[in-house]
Structure 1
């Protein structure tokens, strides 16, 4: 390293008087890099992105010699895709798709060791809600079961409404499932007929769907909810 063969000084000059001063000399010592195992500098545990948007999964490491990188998704080497690009700071994914959701591993290694970054990517779609069955006809005293399917997010809050009024669990009303997505009503009274809505919310996103439960000639009513 030729820069290490010379002595260096700092010289200053006064703007108005022209007087100059000089520091003591110093020598720059340039040494070869120390061999070292990779050390993670930037990582991630979870990323969320809307479908069709761009996202970066950070993975950057130091080490000497310069470490190499390899990405895996759900424990398999990442399939070649023109939307995926390894950058100096991580993995760039263009136009993210719901199928890109999964657990990603960034493997980093050189001749002196290895390290890894593990994180989960969730590609979200707009919330969609579908209640089934879409139309229910029954009689007084019967049992009615409705199911609410939600897509677009793994996490959401769910509420049930009858004719615009929030439904609460009771002796005759049960809500089952991890997010109360199943509504089971026993001993239906004639007043229990009408419009049933499932309303889902996640952050700023929301969606709903409606079905009609008709009991013994009851008139169909329509309601809209904006909670």
Structure 2
């Protein structure tokens, strides 16, 4: 059995998968008892989520299900290896920052394992909508609480067609473009039909037909067989919209030069790290143009695994890395003319920890610092949560260097679990530390958890 810890999976007896060197070092230090607090003989509770609620799309009248599971173990070298039989902590739920238990709703059920079920999902102005941001709270009585990641629940709404698809004509060997402009939340998936039949538009460097990320259909090197009726079909969990029929008329090529013009220009594209990015571009004219791409002074070789052309002109960049961010230039040229247009790729990186807060024990009236440093693109916002409640900066709680928390003049009520929460447009990362506060000159009282939370265990330690 394995436990997910701060973004990697750590086996109960030290085996691990997917951990970075820094994170592995911190975890091994914690398990070996070489953290700051372990040197003082402190005994900490390792409370963590095994399953957290995920962003979900539901339909009106449907069933919303959000899963949550948390477990705890002792974290101390003075103890035997943690028992996998320990009971889970108590779980509760919040929506938009408000405890769900604070109001009655017969449609809502929390199952024995913590899973939240809401029947007959509602999304209307005159009723309390089920759409919103949900969090699971795991609590250990007398010790503290932690909050899960925030899960966004979207109730799928109807799709809206912004504009009809226009019919077009294209000369033999040239390119044609059909647009599909449909809005919805969540954004719809688009497919195209030709003469009423679904088209096979799987991405391939060899295909003349391309479904672009914008939903547009690009037909390159037009052939007589392309003459047909085309329509787009947009679908999300809430509805399906079928567009109007648009005609592609294929014209014979008279052989008279036509100025080059862009059917599609590249634009700014944001792509999450590790995904494939597409910079759209297409041009029309005679003689038929060829398309090349460059980045700075480098002409990109578009027939390898890293770069290739979709529909003969749009640039696909496979498995993007941070180094792929930058400006790209699409150039369409023939023997008479060339035209260029520029787009930019920004690779988005979810929050990643450079340093983690460490569990610590400190004396009353002293100051303590919980270190937290993160990186990501766009730069993550960082907030701190104490026992499931957001920390509001004050004279006693101060955030320095943008992300590190200082607690000044410790009092007993400052004890508990503190979470550093880093979030940006592509992800969220959370790290947890426990703070114990002790009276000077007095032995630390035994740490006791009630039988309702698992086997009763009492441990004494002192400074």
Query: Which of the residues 144, 147, 152 maps onto 2:371?
Result: 147
Which residue of the partner structure matches residue 117 of structure 1?
342
Residues 78-157 of structure 1 mapped to structure 2, 5 A cutoff: 82-87=305-310, 88-94=312-318, 96-108=319-331, 110=333, 112-124=337-349, 128-129=352-353, 132-150=356-374, 153-154=377-378, 156-157=380-381
- TM-fit CA distance, 1:173: 1.7
Shift of 1:92: 1.4
CA contact (8 A) 1:131 1:198 kept: no
* Alpha-carbon offset, residue 56 of structure 1: 1.6
User: What runs of 5+ residues in structure 2 fail to find an aligned partner?
Assistant: 1-251, 439-443, 450-463
Aligned to 2:176: none
TM-score (norm 1): 0.63
2: CA distance, partners of 1:221 / 1:97: 50
The answer (yes or no) to whether the contact 2:293–2:315 under 8 Å persists in 1 is no
Please tell me whether residue 45 in structure 1 is matched to residue 268 in structure 2: yes
Give the alignment's Cα RMSD to 1 decimal.
3.6
Greater Rg, structure 1 or structure 2?
1
Distance apart, 1:41 and its partner CA? 2.1
Which SS does the other structure have where 1:191 is aligned? helix
- TM-score, structure 2 as length reference: 0.34
What does residue range 12-91 of structure 1 map to in structure 2 within 5 Å?
30=254, 32-34=256-258, 36=259, 39=262, 41-49=264-272, 51=274, 53-63=275-285, 65=287, 66-72=289-295, 75=296, 77=298, 82-87=305-310, 88-91=312-315
- The counterpart of 1:162, out of the listed 379, 386, 392, is 386
Deviation at 1:76, TM superposition (A): 5.8
Question: In 2 relative to 1, CA 29–97 (structure 1 residues): closer, same or farther, beyond 3 Å?
Answer: closer
Report how far residue 136 of structure 1 moved: 2.7
CA deviations on 1:154-176 (whole Å, 9 max, x unpaired) are 25443311122221011222224
Shift of 1:215: 2.7
| Aligned CA distance change for structure 1 residues 221 and 165 (closer, same or farther; 3 Å) | farther
